[in-house]
Structure 1
Amino acid sequence: MLFDSHAHLDDKRFHDDRDEVVARAVAGGLTGILNAGADMFSSARAVELAAKHDIVWAAVGIHPHDAKDAREEDYDRLAAWCALPKVVAVGEIGLDYHYDFSPREAQRAVFVSQLDLARQVGKPIIIHDREAHADVLATVKNEGKGLAGVFHCFSGSVEMAREVLKMGFYVSVAGPVTFANAHKLHEVVKAVPLDRLLVETDCPYLTPEPFRGRRNEPAHVRYVAEKVAGLLGLEPEALAARTTENTKRLFGITV
């Protein structure tokens, strides 16, 4: 039983066959998919998908790419969504210094506002961090006290992973862990305690081997789990059970 802890089923690349994608996930043994919002529109779609599919839960939030468009009234709407039973997190939120689609000052301001929102609504957070490791860590340490959450699609070092763990956060790995040259990520996996590890697809992005270069989907989380299990010397079923348990514990999912 697997749980894809981070997906974007609302993406336009699923418009023609979204129901079939969900059906393949169920057939592939998934017990859950967490669909993360990236802006107000995709967050609304995440809420709709969670209401439609038993296997889907939602997170709502404003990605750093869209921080420049955030409005004060958006936070009230995010808070209202967080009151719904299948909305289990605020995310994905954070900083992205690779593309800088939003000014860094705006990214940081919206990140801090959503950390405060998560505290107010009592939800864990899903953190996006791309080429912004130091600022993300500092912001969470200074502004995110008392919050739980996960650094999704982790791309930092073993040393950074240890800092994340000290703060009580989880580490999630995606398709890149299956890549032959992902030596740093392999070492991270080995350094993270099994009870703090999640697996994800981040679909439709970051497709794992052997499907690299094609559209990703939740059913492919099994390839991430199998690679992680191999790195840790575990049977895939045992790794799947532990990461699913971790996902449900972090996000308060009881079914």
Structure 2
Amino acid sequence: MRGGAPVSKGHQDARASERPPAPDPLPLPVVDNHTHLDIARDGGMPPDVAAALADAAAVGVDRVVQIGCDLAGARFTVDQIDRHPQMLGGVAIHPNEAPRHAERGDLEQAWAQIEQLAAHPRVRVIGETGLDYFRTGPEGVAAQQDSFRWHIDLAKRTGKALQIHDRDAHDDVMRILDEEGAPGATVMHCFSGDAELARRCVEKGYYLSFAGTVTFKNARNLRDALAVTPLDRVLVETDAPYLTPSPHRGATNAPYLVPLTVRAMAGVLTTDVPTLCRALSDNSERIYGPWS
């Protein structure tokens, strides 16, 4: 997780096991632009997908984009998008996974499997891909960058949206996108830059997706970035099971908590909640196409 003071492992476990109450429903439906319903938090069990989707729909989050960012997660995603009409999928090798595959000598084989899974018509996203210089050291940079370039090419060849993971790597992410040429729909997942980077992304036609981090007290830079993002370029996400919005930071995140982030975003954007909901839904359908 990003930001915040360190807390004890016991406190983390206690918070993660709490289930926050459902927020008030949104007045209009929105999309959780990026969630991981295949991932368990802190050694627990993964969520029941049908129940998670029903809980989300009850508060106005009637569609989700499920992201599988390793081979097991990508296979899970393709299986689940056939079962749940309110779910579209994304598949990729995460930037932290790419160096591990490279070290084993099977990165190209992993890419080939992702390309096969990406052919599914309800897979509308190549991602999350990108760069992560926080969890992977200098020895993994080359593999990450090679993998990022490969995923950009795949998104362009398949005509699918690209979702980008960018952690402590803003300059290289922007440089590689410029060098390769960004796909027509490029999404900065869990945007983590400042207002200057937000303006650069908007100028290039990218979409900025904000997670629960934008609600954190110490995230003034994210709110400043959101404030300069036009309504037709903004998205919302959970990145569940992590990055739970305030006031439940540290608990396990899930799509039903999106309304907390949406209402906080509306305040930053000085717009009413229905207007923001409409924009979030319209932007999602413009990028990914219809769910039905």
Q: TM-score, normalised by structure 1?
A: 0.95
Match in the other structure for 2:56: 25
Displacement after TM superposition at 1:5 (Å): 0.2
Root-mean-square deviation over aligned CA pairs: 1.6
Match in the other structure for 1:79: 115
Alignment map for 1:190-209 (pairs within 5 Å): 190-209=227-246
Q: Residue type matched to 1:173 in 2?
A: F
Q: Does 1:40 find its partner at 2:71?
A: yes
Q: Does 1:245 find its partner at 2:245?
A: no
Q: Does 1:99 find its partner at 2:127?
A: no
Match in the other structure for 2:96: 65
Q: Deviation per CA, 1:147-194, whole angstroms, max 9, x where unpaired?
A: 421001111111111111122110010001111221111111110110
- Runs of 4+ with >6 A deviation: none
Q: Does 1:216 find its partner at 2:246?
A: no
Match of 2:156 among 109, 115, 119: 119
Q: Does 1:163 find its partner at 2:200?
A: yes
Moved more, 199-208 or 113-122: 113-122
Match of 2:218 among 168, 181, 206: 181
Moved more, 66-75 or 225-234: 66-75
Q: Deviation per CA, 1:219-250, whole angstroms, max 9, x where unpaired?
A: 11111100011112222222111111101111
Q: Does 1:135 find its partner at 2:210?
A: no
The gaps in structure 2 that reach 5 residues or longer are: 1-28
Q: Distance in 1 between matches of 2:47 and 2:107?
A: 32
Match in the other structure for 1:11: 39
Q: Deviation per CA, 1:91-144, whole angstroms, max 9, x where unpaired?
A: 000000011167111100111111111111111100000000000000111113
Q: Distance in 2 between matches of 1:209 and 1:40?
A: 32
SS in 2 for 1:62: coil
Q: Does 1:152 find its partner at 2:189?
A: yes
Q: Distance in 2 between matches of 1:88 and 1:5?
A: 11
Q: Distance in 1 between matches of 2:190 and 2:119?
A: 26
Displacement after TM superposition at 1:16 (Å): 5.2
Q: Deviation per CA, 1:62-104, whole angstroms, max 9, x where unpaired?
A: 1101002152233333222222221001000000001116711
Flag the structure with larger Rg.
2
Q: Distance in 1 between matches of 2:251 and 2:268?
A: 24
Match in the other structure for 2:15: none
Q: Does 1:90 find its partner at 2:126?
A: yes
Q: Distance in 1 between matches of 2:47 and 2:67?
A: 20
Q: How many residues align?
A: 255
**Are the aligned partners of 1:79 and 1:121 in contact in 2 as well (CA < 8 Å)?**
no
Q: Residue type matched to 2:49 in 1?
A: R
**Are the aligned partners of 1:141 and 1:167 in contact in 2 as well (CA < 8 Å)?**
no
Q: Residue type matched to 1:180 in 2?
A: K
Q: Distance in 1 between matches of 2:54 and 2:266?
A: 25
Q: Deviation per CA, 1:26-81, whole angstroms, max 9, x where unpaired?
A: 21111210011211111111111211112111001011010021522333332222
**Are the aligned partners of 2:152 and 2:182 in contact in 1 as well (CA < 8 Å)?**
no
Q: Distance in 2 between matches of 1:12 and 1:54?
A: 23
Displacement after TM superposition at 1:146 (Å): 4.3
Q: Distance in 2 between matches of 1:199 and 1:92?
A: 15
SS in 1 for 2:163: strand
Task: Classify 1:16/1:57 alpha carbon distance in 2 versus 1 (closer, same or farther; 3 Å).
Answer: closer
